[in-house]
Amino acid sequence: MNRKITLSRHYSCGFILLLLLAFTSTQAASNPSYDEIEWIELMPKSDLDALLDPPDFLVEIKDGSDLDSVEALSGMKQKSENAERFEQALTSTRVIQSFDKKQVRIPGFIVPLSSDEQHRVVEFFIVPYFGACLHMPPPPPNQIIYGTFKEGIKVSQLDVAFWFEGTINIETNSNDTGTSAYAMTLDSIEGYEY
């Protein structure tokens, strides 16, 4: 996530994928001891509203140009209220307090951070769509969950979705890859059935 973060169509595509995953997540059977949640539930409504209403000028910015970044948006001398709110939502660590210490089940993708001697991923970010933090602009921190799994998991492909079950906590974690506003101690990880 240290790479230049582009805003325009890449962000829109990622956010649309997030919404699609959220609306299809209820298809799989869930463990009744975990509350099945959707990613957008972790984001305050005002952040969601801001991201769904990007400033008009973003459409005119060419992908990959110098203006196509959070840094360029931050550096604008005069911004509309809409642009300021959009920028704030892109980097928001605002959370929903009622999720603290809650047992949840959520679908998502793994962004590996560290692995054990058997090359199993034991520390990672859970993200709502494939390519987050790698090929596309990252989701806001309140749409990234820092996860640990003692048993580890073999991850041969990053484009494979999983169900994550465990206890979510409100906890900010930052490293060279990115920042998360939530953390999760995982009890189980299983393949996501499409």
Ranges of each domain in the chain:
9-191
149 close to 165: Cβ distance less than 8 angstroms: no
Rounded average pLDDT over 184-193: 91
| pLDDT tens figures, 128-183 | 987 655 545 678 999 999 999 988 888 888 888 999 999 999 999 998 888 999 99
Q: At the topology level of CATH, where does 9-191 sit?
A: OB fold (Dihydrolipoamide Acetyltransferase, E2P) (2.40.50)
Rounded average pLDDT over 27-31: 50
User: CA-CA distance, 37 to 19, in Å (whole number)?
Assistant: 13
| pLDDT tens figures, 96-130 | 999 999 999 999 999 999 989 999 899 999 999 87
| pLDDT tens figures, 36-76 | 999 999 999 999 999 999 888 877 877 767 776 666 666 66
Neighbours of 55 (CB within 10 A): 21
Alpha helix stretches (DSSP H) within the chain: 9-24, 45-51, 70-75, 81-90
Strand partners for 148: 123, 185
Residue 26: predicted pLDDT = 42
* 33-48: burial string, b at 16+ Cβ within 10 Å, e else: ebebbbbbebbeeebb
| 3-state DSSP assignment of residue 61 | coil
Task: Report if pTM > 0.85.
Answer: no
Report residue 32's pLDDT band, with 50, 70 and 90 as the boundaries: confident
